[in-house]
Structure 1
Amino acid sequence: MEAKPYLQEIGLKEGSIASFANYPFNIPSIKMMPVIKFHADVTFIVGENGSGKSTFIEALAQWLGISAQGGSNQVYMEESAGLLLPRHLKGSKSYRKPKDYFFLRAESLYNVATYLDEVYQGSVAENYGVNSLHECSHGESFLAIMANRLGGNGLYIFDEPEAALSPTRQLTALSLIDTLVKKNSQFIIATHSPILLAYPNSIIYQFDESGIKEISYEDTQPFIVTKSFLNNHKSMINNLLYNSENDKG
């Protein structure tokens, strides 16, 4: 059996960054990054838009040798300009390597699907379960990759997968994650989804203006806001919509 966690921890190289004045080093969560220790099963990254989640996830993927666009461990696309963070990271891994890598992100899945069509000449069924990911909806493509491409014994990085998935499909994704964890896989997931965050065998790190800290599921903003809305949706809608109308008057 492979030794997990494959990726044990990551942090900034001491003294490596000359200035924290420019992007991405001026993002508070990056500027004050501690050594992040990863769970053997699932590690979640949460935070508001602009908190540095995707910047961190992209840099982590590149540090592992995966394209920032997404996909497997073959860097096949031009990387985003200005992604300087990977060269300033240092980490520790298990003495055994995962047999599989994949970076799954909603933002650039179209580009990955196009690349796969070009390489496999319109038929990726053997590895992905469909002839072309372009023949599927965004959410179906995500699930096809999870169900067919990710085979276990892997290190998998997801960036906001819920962007492509309905709540019902997020439950399906949660089940697929658990299946892969039981096949000796490790996940690192940036998400806003209170459904995905409910996975029990996990650590949750919050990225915000004060830096990075570990928090409980019940203390995450996705959980707090969703629970508050569902319990008080009528009053919240009234306050949001009717008060804004009165303000205009």
Structure 2
Amino acid sequence: MTFISGFELSELEPGEDNAYLRQLPIVKSLLGAGRIDFTSSVTFLVGENGAGKSTLVEALAVGMRFNPAGGTRNSLFSSADTVSELHYWLRIFRSRNPRDGYFLRAEAMNKVFSYYDAPGFYDPRFGPRMHTMSHGESSLHLLKNRFHANGLYLLDEPESGLSPDSQIVAAARIADLARRGAQFIIATHSPIILAVPGAEILEIRDGALTRVSYEETSLVEATREFIDDPLGTAAYLCEADPIPED
């Protein structure tokens, strides 16, 4: 069962402030597309840089009353970062209300962790201060200690700072929480985190938001192509002669 069962995008009002939104592939694909349903407790958004994945995740988070800068719905700090206006035209369909939740955005994690570490807010029951750990360690700590069953979690590139082994741990934690009632909506470039069993994958491709299988994603295809011949691929991209094999 999901907390957000779907969403739809209404026509944006004309104006220069919305010009950049209209150019985003995700917005172009959603205008006139009708309702998009979430059919799994874990939904991934994938696509090239600039496709609008992060903008959509942010709009869903703001529409669910999370702090635009990240954190929980009770996080009160502000950020100077610009917030997209997409949430004004996004209608979110809810099936129930979450008991807990979190909006994680990779580029703002340092600000969120500073907020949690601040005097008067830091709670030792949650473990060490976030800034005493590395970026990757703090991300895993967040997943393990602040994410719970029956929660709604919107994550923008959660793989940031995580080694491949740590990404496997993160994917396992996401899968476990989803089995116990949590819902995740995740924008990612990681083929490891993308491999959560039973997840729904929406790819921004050829001007449309398309449901695809893991194997069909451009992300996995590109990763597999590189792994099959990493030195040759790198040499080709660098316009150098391939390194001969022994």
TM-score (norm 1): 0.88
Query: Structure 1 residue 235 and structure 2 residue 232: aligned?
Result: yes
Q: Does the CA-based 8 Å contact 1:24-1:55 persist in structure 2? A: no
**Other-structure match for 1:215:** 212
How many Å separate the matches in 1 of 2:218 and 2:29? 21
Deviations along 1:175-198, one digit per CA (max 9) or x if unpaired, are 111121122101000001111111
Match of 2:178 among 151, 171, 181: 181
When residues 82 and 159 of structure 1 are mapped into structure 2, their CA distance, relative to the original with a 3 A threshold, is closer
When residues 197 and 118 of structure 1 are mapped into structure 2, their CA distance, relative to the original with a 3 A threshold, is same
**Other-structure match for 2:49:** 49
Query: Structure 1 residue 137 and structure 2 residue 134: aligned?
Result: yes
How many Å separate the matches in 2 of 1:209 and 1:118? 45
Number of residues of Structure 1 aligned to a counterpart in Structure 2 = 237
When residues 75 and 23 of structure 1 are mapped into structure 2, their CA distance, relative to the original with a 3 A threshold, is farther
**1:48-67 correspondence runs (5 A):** 48-67=48-67
Where does structure 2 lack aligned partners over 5 or more consecutive residues? none
Q: Return structure 1 stretches of 4+ with deviation > 6 angstroms.
A: none
How many Å separate the matches in 1 of 2:47 and 2:174? 21
Partner-residue secondary structure (3-state), 2:103: strand
How many Å separate the matches in 1 of 2:149 and 2:38? 18
Aligned amino acid, residue 190 of structure 1: A
Aligned amino acid, residue 185 of structure 2: I
**1:151-170 correspondence runs (5 A):** 151-170=148-167
Q: Does the CA-based 8 Å contact 2:71-2:103 persist in structure 1? A: yes
Q: Does the CA-based 8 Å contact 1:70-1:112 persist in structure 2? A: yes
**Other-structure match for 1:147:** 144
Partner-residue secondary structure (3-state), 2:20: coil
When residues 31 and 50 of structure 1 are mapped into structure 2, their CA distance, relative to the original with a 3 A threshold, is same
**1:107-122 correspondence runs (5 A):** 107-118=107-118, 120-121=120-121
Which one is further off, 24-33 or 158-167? 24-33
Deviations along 1:127-172, one digit per CA (max 9) or x if unpaired, are 3x22x10111111111111100112110101100112211000000
What is the identity percentage for the equivalent residue pairs of Structure 1 and Structure 2?
Answer: 35
Q: Does the CA-based 8 Å contact 1:70-1:105 persist in structure 2? A: yes
**Other-structure match for 2:40:** 40
Match of 1:191 among 180, 188, 193: 188
TM-score (norm 2): 0.89
Give the superposition deviation at 1:100.
0.4
**Other-structure match for 1:17:** 13
**Other-structure match for 1:126:** 125
How many Å separate the matches in 1 of 2:139 and 2:231? 33
Where does structure 1 lack aligned partners over 5 or more consecutive residues? none
Partner-residue secondary structure (3-state), 2:107: coil
Q: Does the CA-based 8 Å contact 2:175-2:197 persist in structure 1? A: no
Q: Does the CA-based 8 Å contact 2:43-2:199 persist in structure 1? A: yes
